[in-house]
């Protein structure tokens, strides 16, 4: 295939849909016979994923790689920032944590130049293997106060020689000002890389916006390459905050012939994609909540991962959610913890190195006879395992955590999972109380069936079919690609990338 220039989708701001647009183009280029790969120099997210090399990247780039039918690699997201508080982030470089930094430390000149060399080297390696590279910016491409420190937007586009497409969200309003302002704040050199504009999330009669397209082109002197209608029937993972805000709208139990599954909302929740399969299962009504009364109504309570176990555990106690989890469990609800949620379910969580902040030790929820210590070394790995040591089909998942968890003294190990190495993982108390470090565990049909089995009597006729997540996701990538392709000028985009 003909070599194409890299393409970058940058935004007028955060949450305009850059990530999903980049995902769509990964699948479009694949459909058209190319071998695309995603790239985002710097990502800030609590949603991460373990690569086949047992390293960590942002979940969005793992999704984009999946759309391109590639194994994800740290070169696709060499720099990942995982917020630990409003002021501090864990910095993950080339898949490995290199420490916690404040914003002031992170934006320091000397450190930034080291990071710039690393992210540029990652891009160069990737470009030698794939065609084209589908790049994603971060936030707004016109953060002029951070221009000298920029690693992910225009400075990265210039290093890559990329053609930049500015993505604007018309649904939030102010699209003319945001596009015009973004373009005008670019330097003359930066504007040379700007190839066009995409208007995203349009609602209503497209004909009414045709004069607006011409106005934007005349004002900004760049073409509008497409106007993409809003959709609510294509399911592809989006940015953390967008997706979670949508899920929170449904934060209530239902009595409609399905099993009520409550995911406990945490301030530092990570990897909430652990519950996507259950959310699509016709047998399940899944909702996110931190309200005690809604937790008590659940048949199954899922405690998710978190970037700050001790802080979120203290908040569960302060709000009364911890008591509601215990009350619901005593009344017959199942409680399952994953990663940080597993740690919370034990007798105690300690942080002797201060990895998460000032809290050194807290009692856990007391549901499992285990204790956890937060360490100073992060474990990231993909894993094959059998659920419950007695046997069963091989399941898939991944681990990303800094803590270690053991049975309390005098308690025998009771592993939930058996790894390929033979080592046990997690703790199984009974069918209604267990925990694991294994992200993606609930993507496996046999495990979901096991979790729901005690509540099968609640499932009404017509809701009994299980859910094939893998084929569902692949269909959604094709649907997303078809939707975007039908509303952008692909021939013009190919011409732009061929220059």
Q: CA–CA separation, 298 vs 285, rounded Å?
A: 10
Q: What residues are labeled active site?
A: 339, 439
In a 10 Å sphere around its CB, with 0-12 CB exposed, 13-18 middle and 19+ buried, how is residue 11 labelled? Answer: buried
Q: CA–CA separation, 131 vs 26, rounded Å?
A: 10
Task: Single out the residue of 54, 91, 92 nearest to residue 72, CA to CA.
Answer: 54
Q: What ranges make up the beta strands (E) of 331-484?
A: 334-338, 348-350, 361-363, 370-387, 394-407, 417-419, 424-425, 427-430, 433-436
Task: Single out the residue of 306, 239, 302 nearest to residue 270, CA to CA.
Answer: 306
Q: What ranges make up the beta strands (E) of 84-236?
A: 88-93, 96-102, 133-136, 163-169, 194-202, 224-229
Q: CA–CA separation, 36 vs 69, rounded Å?
A: 9
Three-state DSSP at 159 gives helix
In sequence order, the β-bridge partners of residue 374 are: 403
The first and second tokens of residue 340, run together, are 């940080």
Distances (CA, A) of 350 to 374, 403, 408: 6, 9, 13
Q: CA–CA separation, 143 vs 190, rounded Å?
A: 13
CA 407 distance to own-chain centroid:
31
Q: Assess contact for 202 and 230: CB atoms under 8 A.
A: yes
In b/e form, how buried is each residue of 81-95, taking b as 16+ CB within 10 angstroms? bbbbeeebbbbbbbb
Q: Assess contact for 93 and 79: CB atoms under 8 A.
A: yes
Which residues, in sequence order, are CB contacts of 190 under 8 Å at separation 6+? 154, 158
Q: Assess contact for 28 and 485: CB atoms under 8 A.
A: yes
In a 10 Å sphere around its CB, with 0-12 CB exposed, 13-18 middle and 19+ buried, how is residue 3 labelled? Answer: exposed
Three-state DSSP at 445 gives helix
Q: Assess contact for 441 and 397: CB atoms under 8 A.
A: yes
Q: CA–CA separation, 392 vs 422, rounded Å?
A: 14
Q: CA–CA separation, 465 vs 475, rounded Å?
A: 18
């Amino acid at each position: 295939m003909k070599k194409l220039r890299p393409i970058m989708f940058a935004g007028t701001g955060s949450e305009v849909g850059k990530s999903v647009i980049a995902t769509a183009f990964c699948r479009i280029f694949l459909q058209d016979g190319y071998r695309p790969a995603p790239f985002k120099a710097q990502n800030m997210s609590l949603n991460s994923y373990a690569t086949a090399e047992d390293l960590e990247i942002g979940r969005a780039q793992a999704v984009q790689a999946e759309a391109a039918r590639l194994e994800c690699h740290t070169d696709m997201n060499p720099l990942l920032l995982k917020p630990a508080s409003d002021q501090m982030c864990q910095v993950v470089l080339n898949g490995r944590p290199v420490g916690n930094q404040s914003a002031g430390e992170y934006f320091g000149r000397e450190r930034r130049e080291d990071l710039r060399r690393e992210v540029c080297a990652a891009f160069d390696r990737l470009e030698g293997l794939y065609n084209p590279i589908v790049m994603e910016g971060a936030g707004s491409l016109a953060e002029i106060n951070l221009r000298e420190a920029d690693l992910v937007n225009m400075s990265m586009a210039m290093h890559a020689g990329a053609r930049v497409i500015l993505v604007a969200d018309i649904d939030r309003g102010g699209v003319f000002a945001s596009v015009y302002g973004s373009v005008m704040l670019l330097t003359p050199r930066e504007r040379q890389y700007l190839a066009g504009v995409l208007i995203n999330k349009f609602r209503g009669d497209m004909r009414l916006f045709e004069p607006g397209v011409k106005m934007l082109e005349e004002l900004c002197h760049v073409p509008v390459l497409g106007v993409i209608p809003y959709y609510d029937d294509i399911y592809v993972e989006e940015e953390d905050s967008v997706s979670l805000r949508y899920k929170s709208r449904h934060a209530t139990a239902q009595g409609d012939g399905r099993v009520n599954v409550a995911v406990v909302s945490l301030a530092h929740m990570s990897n909430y994609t652990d519950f996507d399969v259950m959310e699509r299962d016709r047998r399940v009504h899944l909702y996110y909540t931190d309200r005690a009364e809604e937790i008590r109504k659940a048949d199954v309570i899922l405690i998710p991962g978190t970037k700050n176990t001790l802080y979120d555990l203290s908040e569960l106690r302060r709000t009364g959610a911890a008591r509601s989890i215990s009350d619901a469990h005593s009344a017959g609800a199942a409680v399952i913890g994953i990663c940080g949620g597993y740690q919370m379910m034990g007798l105690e969580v300690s942080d002797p190195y201060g990895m998460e902040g000032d809290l050194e030790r807290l009692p856990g929820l007391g549901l499992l006879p285990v204790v956890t210590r937060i360490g100073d070394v992060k474990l990231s790995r993909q894993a094959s395992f059998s659920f419950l040591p007695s046997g069963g089909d091989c399941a898939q998942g991944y681990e990303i955590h800094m803590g270690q968890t053991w049975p309390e003294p005098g308690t025998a190990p009771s592993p939930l999972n058996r790894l390929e190495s033979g080592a046990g993982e997690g703790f199984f108390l009974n069918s209604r109380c267990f925990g694991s470090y294994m992200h993606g565990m609930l993507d496996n049909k046999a495990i979901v069936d096991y979790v729901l089995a005690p509540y099968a009597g609640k499932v009404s006729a017509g809701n009994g079919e299980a859910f094939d997540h893998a084929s569902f996701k692949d269909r959604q990538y094709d649907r997303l690609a078809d939707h975007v392709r039908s509303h952008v000028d692909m021939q013009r985009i190919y011409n732009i990338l061929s220059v």
